[in-house]
Structure 1
Amino acid sequence: MAAHILVAGGGIGGLAAALALARRGHRIDVLEQATAFGEIGAGVQLGPNATRRLIALNLEQPLKAIAALPESLVIRSADGDAELARMPLGKSLQQQYGAPYCCVHRADLHTLLLRAAQARGARQMSLNVGVRVGEAVAGDASVCVSSANARAWEGDALVGADGLWGTVRQQVDASATAPRSTGHTAWRGLLHQSRLPAARRSRQVDVWLGPRLHAVAYPVRGGTWLNVVVIAESAPAGDARDWDQASSFAALQQATGRCGGSLQTLLEAMPVWRAWSLHDRAPLTSAGGMANGRIALVGDAAHPMVPYLAQGAGMAIEDAVALADALGEGGPAEIPAAFASYAAARWQRNALVQTRARRNGDIFHATGAMRWGRDLAMRVLGKRLLDQPWLYAG
């Protein structure tokens, strides 16, 4: 008998989990706290490890319709345009790992998943908005969830996909502490490439590394728009939970100082800047951080990470498919064992990505002798240093 599964959170991880589980025949209730389904933010990089899972969910054609396929990854110095390292992406990476490297707008990816979920039909997929999960109680045979507005749901299991600040995590790990402030602030901007001089338009992922800062730019929406993110070591401002704060070029420059070459020109061209303060949690230390009985976590609810490996969305998508694979077409009685198997299979990989992402932050923002050594290593090793077989083939 198919299971009835509640999914708390209707973002990328939640919808991916809902869709993967529905494809196995389970009945899903998605509980989203916002009053409408949608995503904020701008670009998302999807390595072959993530796009392979989306293809497995029969989303290859919709993904092609929204994605840009960058030709290469280029690392430069933020002081100027000196190239430090380069790695081909495009067809060569797809041949190597069996799936493409894509750049998408976060809202486009979310819409793609939402439409696929809606296509499952109301009898199998119930999509509920305005539901802020207040309490979840798991018994031997069911899970009950109540919302802040006195509504309640009961199912055979609960998937927590409610993000870094979500409440479901406490039901899995009662000792969980509050998210940690990294002391880093991110600014993002989005620009139609037609507004840039032809020489400044990009078909690749550009990364600039500077003292206590780095910047990333890559095309989205089929290459017509350019997404730019700058991360600097700067005191947090505004509501820590708000990752869509209004900001300005002046605030960005106060944190970074003036950059060199093409990066400064690109930053000056951005019409609007939004900002958010980066938070994370310590890397997972056991499977107990991802599942407990009839409750499992996916994405940032389980393993929030800094974006220095560009794998936040990728790990959430991996989790979603792995959770559905673990349960398969099993019924309600098989859920605790399936969730435990899922957590055992996933926690070490997620912990490694969390750890590598933190380490990349130190490397990207290096100063002094460490920065000199980093640049030398990149010039000498190039693609061998940038490629991530352990990640992309996983």
Structure 2
Amino acid sequence: MDAQVLIAGGGIGGLAAALACARAGARVRLFERAPAFGEVGAGVQLGPNVVRCLHGWGLAQALDAVAARPGRLVVRSARNGAQLAQLPLGARCVERYGAPYVTIHRADLHGLLLDAVRNNDRVQLRLDRQVGAYGVQGSGVALALQTGAGAQESAEGDLLIGADGLRSRIRAQLLGEAGTRASGHLAYRAVVRQDALPAALRTQDVTAWLGPRLHVVHYPLRRGELLNVVAIRHGTPPADLDDWDHTVNAADLEAALAATCAPLQDLVRAVPQAGSGWRLWPLADRAPVAGAHEMAQGLVALSGDAAHPMRPYLAQGAGMAIEDAAVLQQALLLHDLPLAERLRHYALERWQRCARVQQQSRRNGVVFHATGALRWGRDAALRLLGERLLDQPWLYR
């Protein structure tokens, strides 16, 4: 295969798609609007379903060099701190699913994919390029671009992959959809050095604290040297978020967690004391994918958040983008099919699984933040059936 593939977006999903297409034998040009590659954010959990993809691309050693391998998943009550359930990870995950469960800083995941792409001579990276409209012309696609200096450019290829995130321009043109919708949930994220925390707060586990209309999750990063902490609560974001003074986030979060147990409040207070700040993000998503046509039409396909943005309550956002890329690679290797049919094959393989993950993520948010009788039922079910409820064989196999 020597198809010319254009990719919009230089985040994790775009880099994964670029690597996958190159490994399928395509020539790839990736366009990123930023003048330099970089990834902000905090931690990412990668289930064995995702780690298998990375291993299949020869990235096992690079992943092990920067990731952490939590020993278990622990679920606790945010109200009283009691353990509700646990799930062994570690060796059990490798034995059961053929790959480990890992946690990794988003910048580290982005970096290892970027290194792999830079080392592949089939990929050209084009920075400082804002993606505009595209046009399908016969057997190819033309993409309009604008440089940071305002110059107009164009690129032509055989296929176009929109991996340009939640507010994807490629998606807007392909599907003509309105904007995303607010979830009504606010996420506070912080990364702190473990050695800057009191010994009692350091951990190598994934821990989720479930409370009424809120939850907190934390887990190790960078071989266990860092701790990623995410607190999500119901709320309305400030109108001036772009200019928001994030130094006030700690006080807001402490007030929101005033009714939770002492160990959880100690952790939240320890973050700024250890020299880290809380960053605030309002969460948004779209309705679950409704059909294959929402992931590919003709010579244009979508992947990652451009195709199926999801709430973080199943820890699969980045993972689904990487899975997309792996399936796209296999579809492009179907040399007996025209290129448009290969993209249709990709979409048919992906849309139902992605929709299920989106739906389950939403349901988990309701369960995590349950109040009243639903909260009591959740806690009782976790105590009785904890490991069976926490394991996800339908997802990880």
1:285 corresponds to which of 286, 290, 296: 290
1:125 corresponds to which of 116, 123, 126: 123
Residue aligned with 1:109, SS: helix
Instruction: Kindly indicate whether the alpha-carbon contact (under 8 Å) linking 1:24 and 1:324 is maintained by their aligned counterparts in 2.
Output: yes
Corresponding residue of 1:357: 361
Corresponding residue of 1:327: 332
TM-score scaled by length of structure 2: 0.95
> In structure 2, what is the Cα distance between the partners aligned to 1:242 and 1:140?
46
Corresponding residue of 1:198: 199
Corresponding residue of 2:134: 136
- Structure 2 residue 338 is the aligned partner of structure 1 residue 337: no
Q: CA deviation at 1:245?
A: 6.2
Instruction: Kindly indicate whether the alpha-carbon contact (under 8 Å) linking 1:243 and 1:277 is maintained by their aligned counterparts in 2.
Output: no
> In structure 2, what is the Cα distance between the partners aligned to 1:65 and 1:37?
21
Corresponding residue of 2:258: 257
Instruction: Kindly indicate whether the alpha-carbon contact (under 8 Å) linking 2:75 and 2:207 is maintained by their aligned counterparts in 1.
Output: yes
Corresponding residue of 2:113: 113
Instruction: Kindly indicate whether the alpha-carbon contact (under 8 Å) linking 2:175 and 2:294 is maintained by their aligned counterparts in 1.
Output: yes
- The residue identity in structure 1 corresponding to 2:170 is V
- The residue identity in structure 1 corresponding to 2:366 is D
Corresponding residue of 1:171: 173
Instruction: Kindly indicate whether the alpha-carbon contact (under 8 Å) linking 1:245 and 1:276 is maintained by their aligned counterparts in 2.
Output: no
In the TM superposition, structure 1's runs of 4+ consecutive aligned residues that sit over 4 Å from their partners are: 238-247
Judging changes above 3 Å, is the alpha-carbon distance between structure 1 residues 171 and 240 closer, same or farther for their aligned structure 2 residues?
farther
Instruction: Kindly indicate whether the alpha-carbon contact (under 8 Å) linking 1:80 and 1:262 is maintained by their aligned counterparts in 2.
Output: no
Corresponding residue of 2:235: 234
TM-score scaled by length of structure 1: 0.95
Instruction: Kindly indicate whether the alpha-carbon contact (under 8 Å) linking 1:76 and 1:209 is maintained by their aligned counterparts in 2.
Output: yes
Structure-to-structure mapping, 1:32-181, within 5 angstroms: 32-121=32-121, 124-148=122-146, 149=150, 150-174=152-176, 176-181=177-182
Q: Which moved more, 1:318-327 or 1:243-252?
A: 243-252
Q: CA deviation at 1:241?
A: 8.5
> In structure 1, what is the Cα distance between the partners aligned to 2:243 and 2:361?
22
Instruction: Kindly indicate whether the alpha-carbon contact (under 8 Å) linking 2:167 and 2:180 is maintained by their aligned counterparts in 1.
Output: yes
Q: CA deviation at 1:170?
A: 2.3
Instruction: Kindly indicate whether the alpha-carbon contact (under 8 Å) linking 2:4 and 2:159 is maintained by their aligned counterparts in 1.
Output: yes
Corresponding residue of 1:14: 14
Q: CA deviation at 1:254?
A: 3.6
Corresponding residue of 1:224: 225
Q: Which moved more, 1:96-105 or 1:124-133?
A: 124-133
Provide Cα deviations, 1:47-83, integer angstroms capped at 9, x if missing partner.
0000000001110000000110000000001113200
Judging changes above 3 Å, is the alpha-carbon distance between structure 1 residues 253 and 89 closer, same or farther for their aligned structure 2 residues?
same
Q: CA deviation at 1:251?
A: 2.0
Corresponding residue of 2:379: 375
> In structure 1, what is the Cα distance between the partners aligned to 2:244 and 2:71?
29
Judging changes above 3 Å, is the alpha-carbon distance between structure 1 residues 248 and 70 closer, same or farther for their aligned structure 2 residues?
same
> In structure 1, what is the Cα distance between the partners aligned to 2:261 and 2:360?
28
RMSD: 1.8
Instruction: Kindly indicate whether the alpha-carbon contact (under 8 Å) linking 2:334 and 2:342 is maintained by their aligned counterparts in 1.
Output: no
- The residue identity in structure 2 corresponding to 1:189 is A
Judging changes above 3 Å, is the alpha-carbon distance between structure 1 residues 238 and 276 closer, same or farther for their aligned structure 2 residues?
farther
> In structure 1, what is the Cα distance between the partners aligned to 2:226 and 2:363?
30
- The residue identity in structure 1 corresponding to 2:134 is A
Residue aligned with 1:37, SS: coil
Structure 1 segments unaligned to the other structure (5+ residues): none
2:313 corresponds to which of 299, 308, 311: 308
Q: CA deviation at 1:244?
A: 11
Provide Cα deviations, 1:18-48, integer angstroms capped at 9, x if missing partner.
0011112211101011111111101000000
> In structure 2, what is the Cα distance between the partners aligned to 1:318 and 1:100?
16
Provide Cα deviations, 1:282-316, integer angstroms capped at 9, x if missing partner.
00110000001010111100000000000001100
Structure 2 segments unaligned to the other structure (5+ residues): none
Identity of aligned residues (%): 52
Instruction: Kindly indicate whether the alpha-carbon contact (under 8 Å) linking 1:180 and 1:281 is maintained by their aligned counterparts in 2.
Output: yes
Corresponding residue of 1:386: 390
Corresponding residue of 1:269: 270
Q: CA deviation at 1:197?
A: 2.2
- The residue identity in structure 1 corresponding to 2:167 is W
Provide Cα deviations, 1:195-234, integer angstroms capped at 9, x if missing partner.
1122221010000000000000000000000000000001
Q: CA deviation at 1:253?
A: 2.6
